[in-house]
Structure 1
Amino acid sequence: MRVLTSRVFSSPLRLSWRCSRSFHASPAYRDTIDLAYDLHDNNGQATGAPILILHGLFGSKKNNRSISKALARDLARPIYAIDLRNHGESAHTKTHNYTALAADTEAFLKKHNLKDATLIGHSMGAKTVMTMALRNPDCCADIIAVDNAPVDAALASDFPKYVEGMRKVEEAKVTSPKEADAILEPYAKSLPVRQFLLTNLIRSPSEPLKFRIPVRTLTHALDDMADFPFTDPEKNRFNKRALFVRGTRSHYVSDDVIPIIGKFFPRFELADIEAGHWVISENPEEFKRGEYYLC
């Protein structure tokens, strides 16, 4: 894993990891929801500053179970793996944008009295922690944004296909994961991706399988997930440490956006990990090598 530390770049560079575009301040978001979570504290031995880890679109806290347990053990810091709204065991609501996601997570920090937290987010979770840091820099000690950048950028074309496939699965009223996989295959060719999406399937007594997540709501939210709510780094800037991690086979953090990252997060570091978009699950050992950043 190659690493360089830098401030604001005048030209795009290719960098790597080692152990911190803006809008006007957004108004307070009042309709927050209580977030489901799992606490990993190494049987009570992890007593340091807390770490929150936020999943990506269509994910849940279960995706981060293994890495959370490992970080709690290695760093002696409690890890709160969160289900964001409309995901996992958290409540469903029609509003799904980064302002709402950030406000929910800020409310979680306050409710649990979590101070000096590190915020780790992947993809949708990455933009959520960036939004939190720029909205309210005092809410955390530092952030780690995994495979996303503080820019408006279209989601990979695969994501609309995924939601179309999931809607087809629900319409077919399937009764087994095998049936669901067969319907989803034309929309998600990769078996690991299908397995990831199908972790959202749940069974109710005497009823067809259905997705735990509100597929229609998230379909309508895809444009919001591509956006970023800040556009002026002169007005909103996070002057604490920020680590940006990108997959070498992913397009979400291109060299072109590095100067923009530097304007919003002037103390940022950038890490490259051999992986696609699902960096943590694809290469957890390489991701863990950045533990010293969290010490």
Structure 2
Amino acid sequence: MWLRTRNLWGSSRPRLSLLQGVGSSLSTLSNSGPRTLPLTYRLLDGLDILPPVILLHGLFGNKNTFQAEAETLAQQTGRKVLTVDARNHGESPPGPDCSYEAMSADLQALLSKLGLTSCVLIGHSMGGKTAMMLALQKPELVERLVSVDISPFMVTGTSSIFKIIPAMKSANIPGNLSHSQAFEVIDEHLKPFVQDASIRQYLFNSLVRINGQYVWKVNAENLWQQKNQFLDNLQIQGVYPGRTLFLTNDSSSFLPSSHFPRIKLLFPEAQFQIIPDSGHIPHIKKPQEFMNSVLNFLS
């Protein structure tokens, strides 16, 4: 049910050239900017003549969250596709600064190192805000932008998402369980805290077994201490003139339709597309519809 490594358009993975590694070792993006961290990433090779696609995961995710989508995009479009672990997530280093300015600086340093500009940014939730921040800061680096179920502005009632952190930390998963058995245990454990099955499935991507113990690949302490930064308005003035797609569902609390007019002031070429009954994580709950929307936008 939860296996996300399969290609969305067939029964087996495409044969793609894969590069993995650590991003920029630069200590700062600029003399006055935030201190950057070297991000871990996975890069699928493709044609240099097409803008590469960068996939940015949401809160509590990692670069594996978009693995199936990355493989499909590389196969279907011939583009290079990059997935990244944000700071405090996956195998990237922890950092006490959880601001979108800091996460944008990390990404800019990595893209510069890999020579992946101008690019297509696709970001979900936290990753969507990071993508919007970079596009508003450096519009010349972004050929087009897709933001998945997130507004650049603060919304009420979403702070409850952080109740997941103590629930994740309190989970007791025996290390001798298989991955599928561990999923069943964590799924039952999280049900009282997270009613949406697609969100529980999403969280499972960050559970790994290391030295015979299951651990979460997120720095929960930093995320908890800095939780207000994730919910705040983007603190930047600017306009991104490029093509932009905002994907959402028909009853989103993260991207309410009342925000659309204000969003158009920052992103004048914005389109808004609703994927019905797709929840907050459409690439898990409605993967085919999500991928169709992205491929249509890229074409």
TM score, norm. by length of structure 1 = 0.81
Q: Which of these residues, 223, 226, 234, is aligned with residue 228 of structure 2? A: 223
Deviation at 1:253, TM superposition (A): 1.4
The match for 2:205 is 199
Q: Which of these residues, 92, 95, 99, is aligned with residue 94 of structure 2? A: 92
Compared CA separation, residues 241 and 181, structure 1 to 2 (3 A): closer
- Aligned pairs, how many? 262
- Correspondence list, 1:232-243, <5 A: 235-243=237-245
The match for 2:168 is 166
CA distance in 2, matches of 1:219, 1:45: 40
CA distance in 2, matches of 1:99, 1:118: 19
Task: Report the AA paired with residue 284 of structure 2.
Answer: S
Cα deviations across residues 87-119 of structure 1 (Å, max 9, x unaligned)? 112111121111111111111110101122011
Compared CA separation, residues 257 and 158, structure 1 to 2 (3 A): same
Deviation at 1:48, TM superposition (A): 2.1
CA distance in 2, matches of 1:148, 1:163: 20
1:53 aligns with 2:55: yes
SS at match of 2:170: helix
Task: Report the AA paired with residue 73 of structure 1.
Answer: Q
Deviation at 1:201, TM superposition (A): 2.4
Deviation at 1:70, TM superposition (A): 1.1
> Relative contact order, CA 8 A, sep 6+: which one is greater?
1
The match for 1:254 is 256
The match for 2:146 is 144
SS at match of 2:163: helix
Q: Which runs of 5+ in 1 are unaligned?
A: 1-25
Q: Which of these residues, 213, 218, 221, is aligned with residue 213 of structure 1? A: 218
Contact 1:59 1:87 in 2 (8 A): yes
Deviation at 1:62, TM superposition (A): 0.9
The match for 1:276 is 279
Deviation at 1:29, TM superposition (A): 2.6
Deviation at 1:294, TM superposition (A): 1.2
Cα deviations across residues 166-195 of structure 1 (Å, max 9, x unaligned)? 1222xx585453554444332223444333
Q: Which of these residues, 273, 288, 291, is aligned with residue 291 of structure 2? A: 288
The match for 1:32 is 36
Contact 2:155 2:231 in 1 (8 A): yes
Compared CA separation, residues 190 and 269, structure 1 to 2 (3 A): closer
Deviation at 1:212, TM superposition (A): 1.8
Deviation at 1:52, TM superposition (A): 0.4
- Correspondence list, 1:127-142, <5 A: 127-142=129-144
Cα deviations across residues 49-91 of structure 1 (Å, max 9, x unaligned)? 2110101001111111111111111111111011111111211
- Correspondence list, 1:70-149, <5 A: 70-149=72-151
CA distance in 2, matches of 1:287, 1:184: 25
Contact 1:119 1:143 in 2 (8 A): yes
CA distance in 1, matches of 2:55, 2:222: 23
TM score, norm. by length of structure 2 = 0.80
Deviation at 1:261, TM superposition (A): 0.7
Contact 1:65 1:81 in 2 (8 A): yes
CA distance in 1, matches of 2:58, 2:146: 13
CA distance in 2, matches of 1:33, 1:149: 25
Deviation at 1:198, TM superposition (A): 3.1
CA distance in 1, matches of 2:137, 2:117: 17
The match for 1:3 is none
Q: Which of these residues, 156, 159, 176, is aligned with residue 158 of structure 2? A: 156
The match for 1:20 is none
1:189 aligns with 2:195: yes
